[in-house]
Chains A and B, each alone.
Chain A
Amino acid sequence: MPKSATAALSPDLNAQVSALHRILPPEAVLAGAEESRPYECDGLTAYRNPPGVVCLPDNAHQVQEILRLCAQMHVPVVARGAGTGLSGGALPLSHGVLLSLAKFTRILELDPDNRTARVECGVRNLAISEAAAPYGLYYAPDPSSQIVCTIGGNVAENSGGVHCLKYGLTVHNVLGLKLLTMNGELLELGGNTLDTPGYDLLALLNGSEGLLGVILEVTVKLLPKPERAQLVLAAFHDVAQAGMAVGAILGAGIIPAGLEMMDNLALRAAENYTRAGYPVDAAAILLCELDGANEEVSELIMRVRDLLLANGAYEAHTARDETERLRLWAGRKSAFPAVGRLAPDYYCMDGTIPRNRLPEVLTRIAGLSQHYRLRVANVFHAGDGNLHPLILYDANQPGELKQAEEFGAKILELCLEVGGTITGEHGVGVEKLNQMCVQFASAELAQFHEIKYAFDPKGLLNPGKAVPTLQRCAEFGAMHVHHGKLPFPGLERF
């Protein structure tokens, strides 16, 4: 819940604000409850906290000065792109600076011969593909928020999307970064080459959730737009069978560009919302997209259709034309807001599991749903095992949010139990700190803290996110043991 607005700034904050005014023009420093309210949360709206002060720099020098000032005054900094993150990674700190990078929107260089684009961190994901389109090129990772989310945020979260089965996550598509460390030092990693000397710092920065550096520029890999993309929609009477069909396609040596599953609750919601044309009686649908050369797509689409029908689909429908293909995707891409209309609130999970455990996991999620008396809709990047159960609840009903959070925690622990992970693409943020204690042992968490220390010895960049303190884990573990609930004490952790 929002904290009550305070009219006067604390003396500390006043000093910060006047120092920031020496770096930035007046309109680029926002302080006080009214002005900073729009920044109080990111896409995870259950967590809100107005920032001490918001900075809106528009050039690298200003960012450098802000960081130097904050390092000197020992003020924590939270960087923010478009604020679409789903784990609270950009949740502000009351005593800190929220560094909005929204003004960094220039596409600096498009190099069709080397198939790269160098862009500022605030450039929208989709804007890169739009700029590359005249050259027949595009940027592959396509998170559902791609219309608004920024490339800097994509790097920070190592964002995925519906096409990462074939084309990889952000980390596979970033060739270079320009970033500032907390003490204002400029680092340049990679560029237009396929590798860089030394340690793979690009790997470390992707998915670092704003804890290691402030990203200013990103060089991304562009791909030639496939000649053709074709989509098959398959309907199943049974969710488990749909899961099996996924294994059959991949086992046949076919890597689709996208392979998505939705269960009945999710597909009905999407159908009501977008009129995509989904079969509303199906227990589950699979959307399987193939792309490539015209001839190749024609050949594979027939094989995929046959495989789907041989593996339990009662219907396999190929999109008649581009309009229908895009409409079928629109249903999937709007699944979250569509499900959002079924209840006042929803809580989105993001575990990844080995694909062959899908039937078992879905059955157990259904059991948990009954236990907590909360409905759950399942949207699933089936090809790469990334599950998005959406727990429906009503925050105005006393105790329901807590129930939803407990239910969510159980799902994540279930993902770990079957050999998966607590987050496939949304990040840990503030949301999954407790589950990090289950996934990692103390020595591993300590190693993460030390990696952060190597970049940010004062611990001022996005502190308290992504990696829990060992003390928090001790308390979380103790609490669970106390209630006799520590789920899997002898668990093999991955």
Chain B
Amino acid sequence: MDADHSAALLASVQEALAQKIPLRIAGGNSKAFYGRQPAGKPLSMADHRGILRYEPGELVITARAGTPLSEIEAALDAHRQMLPFEPPHFGPGATLGGTIACGLSGPRRPYAGAARDFVLGVKIINGRGEVLKFGGEVMKNVAGFDAARLMTGALGTLGILLEISLKVAPKPHHEVTLTRSCSAQQALETMTALARQPLPLSAACFSNDTLYLRLSGSESGVRAAREKIGGDLFSDQTSFWRQVREHTHDFFKSGTLLWRLSLPPAAPLLSLPGLWFIDWGGAQRWLRNPLPADVIRATAVKLGGHAMLFRGGEHTGSVFHPLPPALLALHKRLKNVFDPQGIFNPGRLYAEL
């Protein structure tokens, strides 16, 4: 199963450069819905897989991009470790490369950090057909620009990820979830107040008139926090947070457009109509609503945030929040220095990239 396909991938890039045919890079196709529809010839990363190095004591894992995310998580789990950003899979085929290229993080994100925070190093193929390594396998590294983190969330538009090194963390010894019935307003106030205190919070969301708070840490620390916060102990916590992470929770099942709003966590409730799911302690809010994009975006901007169309609709227009002209121009220049012929996932992130 494990195999190094970098030579074949490099040959595909060289062929694409010679024939001027762009490539549509895919791992397990679990996140094909995400972002704009890219043009180009499909290039599968799925065979380029395998964990290359994992030493639990070093808290670092290095694997080929096509390695299934589930395989990484199982290897870590065997040593009571985890990917702290709790990445969503969105399908059984999710790969490490796709996870980093999309840069998505799960419920633990506000408290533990995002996908990009755990990227230590990458090996890529750039748009000149060169194999390059950035970053490394150590915790601290400031040699050269941080091109490794730059790849996170770039949706493959700057290069093909071949290998990725991630910082990992021990699994918490103890975890409980507390619930309480309240209004959205009360939930937001509670989340904000709790986040200002030194508590072992590891997730906080609100849906269906219920606030869910997850606590992680040592048994005594979690017990003390639980006494301080109060609320009911929620027995089905593992499957609940998996549903939130994987969007298999009922909220995400209905058919209308799904918008993701990234806001300052304490931003007030938005006046936009529709169904809301508040996650990340208020910093990530999901909205099911068929309103025009500009109305939603303008509302998010007014509160210091941004909005993107996560699921549904035509993914041919503007999906991610539009960039101001000066930043878009800089994005184009950066795209151009990594991928001068524009062969990697053209249009997946923005039409201009």
Q: Give the B-binding residues of A (Cβ under 8 A).
A: 111-116, 135-137, 157-158, 160, 164-165, 168-169, 171-172, 181, 185-189, 191-201, 203-204, 206-208, 212, 224-227, 247, 250-251, 253-255, 292-296, 298-300, 352-356, 381, 383-386, 419-428, 432, 436, 439-441, 443-445, 447-448, 450-455, 466-467, 493-494
Contact = CB atoms under 8 A, between A and B. Distances in A.
Contacts of B130: 443, 447
A428 B140 contact: no
A478 to B, nearest CB: 22
A144 to B, nearest CB: 14
18 contacts: A113-B196, A189-B327, A193-B263, A194-B110, A194-B265, A200-B103, A212-B145, A292-B217, A293-B199, A296-B220, A352-B138, A419-B137, A421-B136, A421-B143, A444-B132, A450-B338, A454-B333, A494-B137
A310 B63 CA distance: 33
A187 B330 contact: yes
Given A201-B330, A299-B218, A421 B146 contact: no
Interface in B173-205: 173, 192, 195-200
A137 B217 CA distance: 20
B262 A195 contact: yes
A454 B330 contact: yes
B138 A439 contact: no
Contacts of B192: 113
B337 A447 contact: yes
B220 A299 contact: yes
Nearest to A226: B198
Contacts of B154: 199-200
A187 B116 CA distance: 21
A453 B196 contact: no
B59 interface: yes
Given A296-B221, A436-B143, A455-B330, A172 B113 contact: yes
Contacts of A200: 103, 116, 149-150, 152-154
Interface string B32-51: 00000000000000000000
Interface in B117-151: 117, 121, 126, 128, 130-147, 149-150
Given A115-B195, A253-B170, A185 B114 contact: no
A114 B320 contact: no
Nearest to A442: B130
Nearest to A453: B337
Given A197-B321, A296-B200, A386 B147 contact: no
A195 B321 contact: no
Given A207-B145, A253-B171, A494-B121, A197 B320 contact: yes
Contact of B217 (A164, A296, A421, A422): A296
B304 interface: yes
Closest 6 CB pairs of A and B: A296-B221, A253-B170, A494-B136, A203-B149, A192-B264, A424-B140
Interface string B320-347: 1111101100110110111000000000
B273 interface: no
Contacts of B264: 111, 114, 116, 191-193
A423 B145 CA distance: 12
A356 B306 contact: no
B146 A206 contact: yes
A301 B197 CA distance: 22
A356 B192 CA distance: 41
Contact of A193 (B60, B221, B306): B306
B57 interface: yes
Task: From A172, A352, A493, name the one whose CB has the most chain B CB atoms within 10 angstroms.
Answer: A352
B305 interface: yes
B147 A428 contact: no
Contact of B142 (A135, A157, A191, A226): A157
Given A136-B196, A444-B132, A296 B116 contact: no
Given A198-B349, A450-B337, A381 B140 contact: yes
B214 interface: no
Contacts of B150: 199-201, 203-204
Contacts, number: 269
Contacts of B262: 193-195
B196 A197 contact: no
Nearest to B141: A421
Q: How large is the interface on B (under 10, 10 to 19, 20 to 34, 35 or more residues)?
A: 35 or more
Contacts of B327: 187, 189, 198, 201
Nearest to A167: B113
Task: From B130, B136, B218, B324, name the one whose CB has the most chain A CB atoms within 10 angstroms.
Answer: B218
B136 A113 contact: no
A299 B262 CA distance: 37
B221 A295 contact: yes
Contacts of B199: 224, 293
A292 B144 contact: no
A436 B140 contact: no
Contacts of A448: 144-145, 147
A438 to B, nearest CB: 10
Given A194-B109, A251-B56, A158 B331 contact: no
Contacts of A171: 117, 146, 149
B57 A355 contact: yes
Given A172-B117, A255-B170, A352-B139, A300 B218 contact: yes
Nearest to B60: A354
Contact of A299 (B195, B196, B221, B265): B221
Given A207-B145, A425-B140, A295 B223 contact: yes
B219 interface: yes
A60 to B, nearest CB: 15
Given A189-B327, A352-B140, A443-B128, 9 more contacts: A193-B262, A195-B103, A197-B308, A293-B200, A296-B224, A354-B138, A385-B138, A421-B136, A424-B139
Given A451-B334, A454-B334, A494-B136, A424 B58 contact: no
B138 A493 contact: no
A46 to B, nearest CB: 20
A200 B100 CA distance: 12
B280 interface: yes
Contact of A454 (B171, B200, B336): B336
B117 to A, nearest CB: 5
B283 interface: yes
Contacts of A439: 143-144
Contacts of A294: 224
B20 interface: no
Nearest to B220: A295
B123 to A, nearest CB: 10
B247 interface: no
A204 to B, nearest CB: 5
A420 B138 contact: yes
B21 interface: no
B293 interface: no
Interface in B97-121: 103, 109-110, 113-114, 116-117, 121
Contacts of B323: 197-198
A216 to B, nearest CB: 15
Given A187-B330, A451-B334, A164 B140 contact: yes
A117 to B, nearest CB: 13
Interface string B250-280: 0000000000001111100000000000001
B320 A443 contact: no
Contacts of A168: 113, 117
Nearest to B193: A113
A419 B145 CA distance: 19
